[in-house]
Amino acid sequence: MEITNFRTFLGFLLVLLSRICVCSATESDICCLKSIKDSLQDPFNSLDSWYFSNTTEGFICRFAGVSCWHDSENKIISITLSDFGLIGEFPQGIRNCTSLTGLDLSGNKLYGTIPSDISVILEYVTSLDLSSNQFSGNIPPDIANCAYLNVLKLGNNNLEGEIPSRIGYLPRLKTFSVANNYLTGPLPSFVSKQIRPKSFANNPGLCGKPLGECEYSEDSWIWKYIDRASFIEAFVIGWVLVFTLVLVLQLFQFPTKAINKIVSLSIRKLRGKEHLTSGSEEELSSQQKILKLEKFVTRMSLKELENATSDFSEDYLVGNGMLGKVYKAFLPNGWTLAIKKLNDWENLEDEFVSEITTLGGLRHRNLLPLIGFCAEKQERLLVYKYMHKGSLHEWLHTDEDKAKILDFPLRVKIALGIAKGLAWLHHGYELHVTHGSISTRCILLDQNFEPKLSNFWEAKFWSKNDTALSWSLFPVAEYSGLGSYKQDIYCFGVVLLELVTGKEPHELTNSRNLFDHSPCLLDADRDLLGKGVDNLILQFLELACNCVKFFPNERPTLLEVYDTLKNMSQGQRDWIRKIPLSTDISSLYD
């Protein structure tokens, strides 16, 4: 009896060990593929051929997108899952493919951040393609430790921040692309001479060779302190040199008149420099303002913009607002732009300057990228990155079919993106910015429905102290927790109500008074109800009503609004994954 029990136990142990060995060092590639399949959503069943009941050697080599070193062994050399329609975050289990040299996950709907330990996960990778997904956040500096990389493609994502400088030192890198992201700062100096300007296209914040030279605005934080320090240093050095020269000339009995002339000229130059540095912004002429605007964004020629729009042909007209007409433009380098041509520029000079100093001086994924401006003859034009989906107002209120495409998870994503951008403006800097006229008309959507805030005509700058006073061409007001801040929150609350009810602002005031009573599901758009998210819709309504309370001090801050929306999305991971969030909601600065 005891022998029988022992044999039974031994048999069970052998079966258990056989199961474990599937994920042993020799069979880790099988575990790798299992984890990839388990961690990603596969709505088109592209991974149906990944069937793991087979135990023959080399069976995984017949899986779709999988290539092995030899067909007769389970040792993967590359994984190519391009355009498989996969959804999820970067599959961490891929680290178990210990012999992998090539990985292509392009053309899917992967989101989140690129792993910070990417060189550990892909130790021997020579080709990495993560393009055309929805990855966000920064490019991890650790990617420069992938010493064998020949190909690195990260284009068409939502990446931000600077390109790690050490990437340029990768000795084997021949193909590199980060086009169509939101990257900023100077480009690395690449060892390879094969990296072309098109590799960095549609990243307005990038500069340096082979793009244009980096220009540091005197209105930027860093340059401001550098400029002051440099002036003081130059002033001191100048005086030392002057008196040294006087002493030398006296020793050699140089004529006194010549000495006085040199000293007088030096003093006049120094005073002239000091006057230019500390001059009042209010005394700037129109032409001086235009010259200062070149430090924020590129000044473009009227001829260039006329050519891009076929001389502003009606065929290129895509919008007609109160301030001017908007044209779609195509540049020779392949960029698609939106050009706003102001109607009456003489009466809109302040608005023109405000838009450039705000969108040109502040960069965030949820602010509309301003590419350049034109000020020639009697024309004033603003040049933006083109937003393929148009305005949120169009989607909500002009076409029922479009409105139905905006399901509730997608509306939450849009609300979260705008809240993130506004909270960053209100709380993200020593210098705070209020928008002044938030509405669904000034919220634009890119090809991934990522929202971008535009129309900063009435923006105001606020500071707790004098350190930010030179940011704008306008006076900066003292910090205040009232007024413009609470007005922004109220207007954003109206946007939230439009998103959840489907009604325009004037309709909201004529319907049940959402501004004075506790909301209920009867207030919501019926097309959104009955789909498993009614509880979230009610939370969304409550948040919107809090934002539009009559007394300003009862309204939440935009940081609190952002946190509430973030918690709503994080707490309901199952339903929010129906559409991948391209916003990295871990920080306002991401």
User: Residue 434 sits in a domain of what CATH number?
Assistant: 1.10.510.10
Distance of CA 161 to the CA centre of its chain: 8
Q: In this predicted model, which residue has the larger pLDDT, 174 or 523? A: 174
Are residues 239 and 327 both part of a single domain? no
Please state, as a whole number, how many other Cβ atoms lie within 10 Å of the Cβ of residue 118.
Answer: 22
Are residues 380 and 397 both part of a single domain? no
355: CATH: 3.30.200.20
**Are the C-beta atoms of 293 and 353 separated by less than 8 Å?**
yes
Which pLDDT band holds residue 280 (cuts at 50, 70, 90)? very low
User: Which domain range does residue 162 map to?
Assistant: 25-207
Angle between helices 534-547 and 408-427 in degrees, nearest 10: 30
Nearest alpha-carbon partner for 131 in 163, 179, 174, 197: 179
Which pLDDT band holds residue 419 (cuts at 50, 70, 90)? very high
Give residue 463's pLDDT.
60
Decide if pLDDT at 62 tops 60: yes
> Residue 1 domain-assigned?
no
Q: Among 182-186, 306-310, 347-351, 534-538, which is the least confidently predicted range?
A: 347-351
Give residue 574's pLDDT.
47
> Residue 522 domain-assigned?
yes
* CA gyration radius, the chain: 30
Q: Among 138-142, 383-387, 532-536, which is the least confidently predicted range?
A: 532-536
Are residues 430 and 447 both part of a single domain? yes
Are residues 120 and 229 both part of a single domain? no
Strongest mean pLDDT among 153-162, 214-223, 476-485? 153-162
Sheet holding 66-68, edge to edge: 66-68, 76-80, 102-104, 127-129, 151-153, 175-177
Are residues 416 and 546 both part of a single domain? yes
Give residue 98's pLDDT.
85
Tokens representing 132 are 């055309």
Q: What is the pTM of this model?
A: 0.51
> Residue 165 domain-assigned?
yes
Please state, as a whole number, how many other Cβ atoms lie within 10 Å of the Cβ of residue 266.
Answer: 17
Which of 283, 314, 337 is the last residue before a domain boundary? 283
Are residues 352 and 381 both part of a single domain? yes
Cα distance between residue 306 and residue 294, in whole Å: 20
Mean predicted confidence (pLDDT) in 15-39: 64
> Residue 4 domain-assigned?
no
Q: Among 110-124, 215-229, 510-524, which is the least confidently predicted range?
A: 215-229
Q: Exposure of 2 by Cβ count < 10 A (0-12 exposed, 13-18 middle, 19+ buried)?
A: exposed
Are residues 339 and 417 both part of a single domain? no
Are residues 307 and 197 both part of a single domain? no
> Residue 19 domain-assigned?
no
Which of 262, 283, 304 is the last residue before a domain boundary? 283
> Residue 147 domain-assigned?
yes
Are residues 132 and 44 both part of a single domain? yes
Which of 331, 362, 385 is the last residue before a domain boundary? 385
Sign of CA dihedral 404, 422, 570, 554: negative
> Residue 427 domain-assigned?
yes
* Structural domains counted in the chain: 4
Q: In this predicted model, which residue has the larger pLDDT, 14 or 243? A: 243
Are residues 461 and 544 both part of a single domain? yes
Are residues 478 and 423 both part of a single domain? yes
> Residue 341 domain-assigned?
yes
Give residue 154's pLDDT.
94
Are residues 425 and 308 both part of a single domain? no
